[in-house]
Protein backbone atom coordinates (compact mmCIF):
# COMPACT_ATOMS: atom_id res chain seq x y z
CA UNK A 1 0.00 0.00 0.00
CA UNK A 2 1.04 3.58 -0.51
CA UNK A 3 -0.17 7.15 -0.85
CA UNK A 4 -2.01 8.10 -4.02
CA UNK A 5 -1.63 11.55 -5.61
CA UNK A 6 -3.39 13.10 -8.57
CA UNK A 7 -0.96 15.01 -10.79
CA UNK A 8 -3.33 16.67 -13.28
CA UNK A 9 -6.79 18.11 -12.55
CA UNK A 10 -8.87 21.23 -13.07
CA UNK A 11 -11.40 23.45 -11.30
CA UNK A 12 -14.29 25.33 -12.85
CA UNK A 13 -13.22 28.56 -11.13
CA UNK A 14 -10.15 28.82 -13.34
CA UNK A 15 -10.30 26.30 -16.21
CA UNK A 16 -12.93 27.10 -18.80
CA UNK A 17 -13.22 23.43 -19.76
CA UNK A 18 -13.95 22.20 -16.21
CA UNK A 19 -17.43 21.71 -14.74
CA UNK A 20 -16.63 20.87 -11.11
CA UNK A 21 -15.70 23.40 -8.46
CA UNK A 22 -12.50 23.04 -6.50
CA UNK A 23 -14.39 21.94 -3.39
CA UNK A 24 -16.29 19.28 -5.30
CA UNK A 25 -13.09 18.00 -6.88
CA UNK A 26 -11.44 17.70 -3.47
CA UNK A 27 -14.34 15.72 -2.09
CA UNK A 28 -14.34 13.43 -5.12
CA UNK A 29 -10.65 12.62 -4.83
CA UNK A 30 -10.96 12.12 -1.09
CA UNK A 31 -13.79 9.65 -1.62
CA UNK A 32 -11.65 7.76 -4.15
CA UNK A 33 -8.92 7.27 -1.54
CA UNK A 34 -6.35 9.81 -2.71
CA UNK A 35 -3.91 11.28 -0.20
CA UNK A 36 -3.48 14.47 -2.19
CA UNK A 37 -3.88 16.34 -5.46
CA UNK A 38 -1.94 18.83 -7.53
CA UNK A 39 -4.31 21.50 -8.84
CA UNK A 40 -3.18 22.23 -12.40
CA UNK A 41 -5.62 24.78 -13.76
CA UNK A 42 -5.02 26.27 -17.17
CA UNK A 43 -2.59 29.17 -17.25
CA UNK A 44 -3.84 32.50 -18.60
CA UNK A 45 -2.61 31.61 -22.10
CA UNK A 46 -4.79 28.48 -22.19
CA UNK A 47 -8.46 27.69 -21.70
CA UNK A 48 -8.79 30.00 -18.72
CA UNK A 49 -11.78 31.84 -17.31
CA UNK A 50 -9.50 34.76 -16.47
CA UNK A 51 -10.56 38.12 -17.97
CA UNK A 52 -7.71 39.31 -20.15
CA UNK A 53 -8.09 42.97 -19.20
CA UNK A 54 -6.87 42.31 -15.63
CA UNK A 55 -3.45 43.33 -14.38
CA UNK A 56 -0.80 40.62 -14.13
CA UNK A 57 -1.20 40.60 -10.35
CA UNK A 58 -4.94 40.03 -10.60
CA UNK A 59 -4.51 37.41 -13.31
CA UNK A 60 -2.23 35.45 -11.00
CA UNK A 61 -4.71 35.78 -8.14
CA UNK A 62 -7.34 34.35 -10.46
CA UNK A 63 -5.01 31.49 -11.46
CA UNK A 64 -4.59 30.55 -7.80
CA UNK A 65 -8.24 30.91 -6.83
CA UNK A 66 -9.15 27.29 -7.57
CA UNK A 67 -6.16 26.07 -5.61
CA UNK A 68 -7.05 28.39 -2.72
CA UNK A 69 -10.56 26.96 -2.45
CA UNK A 70 -9.21 23.43 -2.80
CA UNK A 71 -6.80 24.04 0.07
CA UNK A 72 -9.63 25.16 2.33
CA UNK A 73 -11.74 22.12 1.48
CA UNK A 74 -8.72 19.84 1.71
CA UNK A 75 -7.97 21.05 5.22
CA UNK A 76 -11.55 20.26 6.20
CA UNK A 77 -11.60 16.71 4.86
CA UNK A 78 -7.97 15.67 5.21
CA UNK A 79 -6.72 15.83 1.62
CA UNK A 80 -3.36 17.46 0.86
CA UNK A 81 -3.55 20.05 -1.92
CA UNK A 82 -0.54 21.28 -3.91
CA UNK A 83 -0.24 24.06 -6.49
CA UNK A 84 0.74 23.81 -10.11
CA UNK A 85 -0.59 24.97 -13.46
CA UNK A 86 -0.89 23.88 -17.09
CA UNK A 87 0.96 26.19 -19.48
CA UNK A 88 -0.16 26.22 -23.10
CA UNK A 89 2.06 26.63 -26.15
CA UNK A 90 0.42 26.45 -29.58
CA UNK A 91 -2.29 24.23 -28.14
CA UNK A 92 0.10 21.83 -26.38
CA UNK A 93 0.09 21.73 -22.59
CA UNK A 94 2.86 21.56 -20.01
CA UNK A 95 2.36 20.72 -16.35
CA UNK A 96 4.41 23.02 -14.16
CA UNK A 97 5.19 22.19 -10.52
CA UNK A 98 7.33 23.55 -7.72
CA UNK A 99 6.84 27.28 -8.22
CA UNK A 100 4.50 29.69 -6.49
CA UNK A 101 3.27 33.27 -6.09
CA UNK A 102 6.71 34.85 -5.76
CA UNK A 103 7.86 33.34 -9.05
CA UNK A 104 4.67 34.37 -10.83
CA UNK A 105 4.85 37.93 -9.50
CA UNK A 106 8.44 38.25 -10.67
CA UNK A 107 7.70 37.08 -14.22
CA UNK A 108 4.96 39.22 -15.80
CA UNK A 109 4.11 38.23 -19.37
CA UNK A 110 5.26 34.67 -18.71
CA UNK A 111 2.29 33.63 -20.83
CA UNK A 112 3.86 35.14 -23.94
CA UNK A 113 7.04 33.07 -23.90
CA UNK A 114 7.75 30.39 -26.50
CA UNK A 115 8.25 26.97 -24.98
CA UNK A 116 12.04 27.16 -25.24
CA UNK A 117 12.19 30.31 -23.11
CA UNK A 118 9.45 29.13 -20.78
CA UNK A 119 11.33 25.89 -20.11
CA UNK A 120 14.50 27.79 -19.32
CA UNK A 121 12.94 30.24 -16.89
CA UNK A 122 10.89 27.58 -15.10
CA UNK A 123 13.73 25.13 -14.67
CA UNK A 124 16.33 27.77 -13.81
CA UNK A 125 14.06 28.80 -10.94
CA UNK A 126 13.74 25.28 -9.56
CA UNK A 127 10.50 24.28 -11.25
CA UNK A 128 9.59 20.96 -12.84
CA UNK A 129 8.10 20.75 -16.34
CA UNK A 130 6.29 17.77 -17.87
CA UNK A 131 4.51 17.63 -21.20
CA UNK A 132 0.90 16.57 -20.76
CA UNK A 133 -0.77 14.28 -23.34
CA UNK A 134 1.98 14.97 -25.91
CA UNK A 135 0.18 13.34 -28.84
CA UNK A 136 -3.20 15.05 -28.47
CA UNK A 137 -4.35 16.06 -31.95
CA UNK A 138 -7.69 17.74 -31.37
CA UNK A 139 -8.73 20.60 -33.65
CA UNK A 140 -7.32 23.35 -31.41
CA UNK A 141 -3.85 21.80 -31.07
CA UNK A 142 -1.33 23.31 -33.47
CA UNK A 143 1.74 21.61 -31.96
CA UNK A 144 0.70 17.93 -32.09
CA UNK A 145 3.81 16.10 -30.97
CA UNK A 146 6.33 16.15 -28.13
CA UNK A 147 8.74 19.05 -27.84
CA UNK A 148 12.48 18.39 -27.93
CA UNK A 149 13.16 16.08 -25.01
CA UNK A 150 15.77 18.34 -23.44
CA UNK A 151 13.14 21.02 -22.85
CA UNK A 152 11.15 18.92 -20.35
CA UNK A 153 11.76 17.01 -17.13
CA UNK A 154 9.07 14.38 -17.63
CA UNK A 155 6.22 13.05 -19.76
CA UNK A 156 2.63 12.24 -18.96
CA UNK A 157 2.48 8.75 -20.44
CA UNK A 158 -1.05 8.03 -19.19
CA UNK A 159 -3.92 10.52 -19.36
CA UNK A 160 -7.37 9.10 -18.70
CA UNK A 161 -9.01 11.32 -21.33
CA UNK A 162 -6.68 10.15 -24.10
CA UNK A 163 -7.13 7.10 -26.35
CA UNK A 164 -4.80 4.23 -25.57
CA UNK A 165 -2.93 4.69 -28.86
CA UNK A 166 -1.89 8.22 -27.92
CA UNK A 167 -0.85 7.14 -24.42
CA UNK A 168 1.19 4.33 -25.98
CA UNK A 169 3.01 6.85 -28.19
CA UNK A 170 3.77 9.00 -25.14
CA UNK A 171 5.16 5.96 -23.31
CA UNK A 172 7.37 5.09 -26.28
CA UNK A 173 8.67 8.67 -26.47
CA UNK A 174 9.52 8.72 -22.77
CA UNK A 175 11.33 5.39 -23.02
CA UNK A 176 13.26 6.47 -26.11
CA UNK A 177 14.67 9.53 -24.36
CA UNK A 178 14.91 8.11 -20.83
CA UNK A 179 12.50 10.68 -19.41
CA UNK A 180 10.67 10.28 -16.10
CA UNK A 181 7.04 9.24 -16.53
CA UNK A 182 3.82 10.18 -14.80
CA UNK A 183 0.11 9.43 -14.92
CA UNK A 184 -2.81 11.78 -14.41
CA UNK A 185 -6.57 11.72 -14.74
CA UNK A 186 -6.87 15.23 -16.26
CA UNK A 187 -10.16 15.34 -14.35
CA UNK A 188 -12.53 18.15 -15.29
CA UNK A 189 -15.44 16.80 -13.27
CA UNK A 190 -17.57 15.57 -16.17
CA UNK A 191 -17.55 11.90 -15.23
CA UNK A 192 -16.35 9.43 -12.63
CA UNK A 193 -12.63 9.46 -11.98
CA UNK A 194 -10.51 6.89 -13.72
CA UNK A 195 -7.64 5.21 -11.86
CA UNK A 196 -4.77 7.60 -12.49
CA UNK A 197 -1.98 9.38 -10.69
CA UNK A 198 1.15 8.30 -8.87
CA UNK A 199 1.56 6.27 -5.72
CA UNK A 200 4.36 7.03 -3.25
CA UNK A 201 5.61 4.71 -0.55
CA UNK A 202 5.75 7.62 1.94
CA UNK A 203 3.39 10.51 2.48
CA UNK A 204 4.41 13.66 0.61
CA UNK A 205 5.18 16.59 2.87
CA UNK A 206 5.46 18.92 -0.11
CA UNK A 207 5.09 18.89 -3.87
CA UNK A 208 8.84 18.39 -4.08
CA UNK A 209 8.43 14.91 -2.60
CA UNK A 210 6.13 14.05 -5.50
CA UNK A 211 8.51 15.60 -8.02
CA UNK A 212 11.47 13.68 -6.59
CA UNK A 213 9.55 10.39 -6.63
CA UNK A 214 8.71 10.90 -10.31
CA UNK A 215 12.23 11.97 -11.28
CA UNK A 216 13.88 9.12 -9.39
CA UNK A 217 11.46 6.59 -10.90
CA UNK A 218 10.22 5.61 -7.43
CA UNK A 219 6.62 6.63 -8.10
CA UNK A 220 4.23 3.84 -9.04
CA UNK A 221 2.12 4.89 -12.01
CA UNK A 222 -1.58 4.29 -11.51
CA UNK A 223 -3.58 3.34 -14.62
CA UNK A 224 -6.53 1.07 -15.38
CA UNK A 225 -3.97 -1.52 -16.46
CA UNK A 226 -2.07 -3.41 -13.81
CA UNK A 227 1.02 -4.09 -15.90
CA UNK A 228 2.57 -0.62 -15.95
CA UNK A 229 3.74 -0.77 -12.34
CA UNK A 230 6.74 1.16 -11.01
CA UNK A 231 8.64 3.12 -13.64
CA UNK A 232 11.71 1.01 -13.08
CA UNK A 233 9.90 -2.07 -14.40
CA UNK A 234 8.54 -0.48 -17.54
Fold of 3-233: TIM Barrel (3.20.20)
> Among residues of the chain, what percentage have pLDDT more than 90?
84
Helix axes 65-77, 22-31, angle to 10 degrees: 40
pLDDT score recorded for residue 192? 54
Cβ neighbours for 205, distance < 8 A, ≥ 6 positions apart: none
Reported as a single tens digit per residue, the pLDDT across 125-162 is: 999 999 999 999 877 777 778 999 999 999 999 999 89
pLDDT score recorded for residue 227? 43
Reported as a single tens digit per residue, the pLDDT across 13-46 is: 999 999 999 999 999 999 999 999 999 999 999 8
Q: Residue 212: is its pLDDT beyond 70? A: yes
Q: pTM value? A: 0.93
pLDDT score recorded for residue 228? 39
pLDDT score recorded for residue 194? 65
DSSP state of 16: T
Give 61's pLDDT tier (boundaries 50, 70, 90).
Answer: very high
Between CA 157 and CA 170, with CA 9 as vertex, the angle to 5 degrees is 10
pLDDT score recorded for residue 91? 85
Cβ neighbours for 59, distance < 8 A, ≥ 6 positions apart: 44, 50
Helix (H/G/I), strand (E/B), else coil: 137: coil
Query: What average pLDDT score do residues 50-75 get?
Result: 97
Amino acid sequence: MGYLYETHMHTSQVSGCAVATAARQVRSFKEKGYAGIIVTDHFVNGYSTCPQHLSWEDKMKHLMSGYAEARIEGDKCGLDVFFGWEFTYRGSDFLTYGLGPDFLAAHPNLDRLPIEEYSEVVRNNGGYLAQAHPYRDDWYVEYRFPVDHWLIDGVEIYNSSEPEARNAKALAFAKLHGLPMQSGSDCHGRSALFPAGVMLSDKADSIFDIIEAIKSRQAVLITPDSDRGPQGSQ
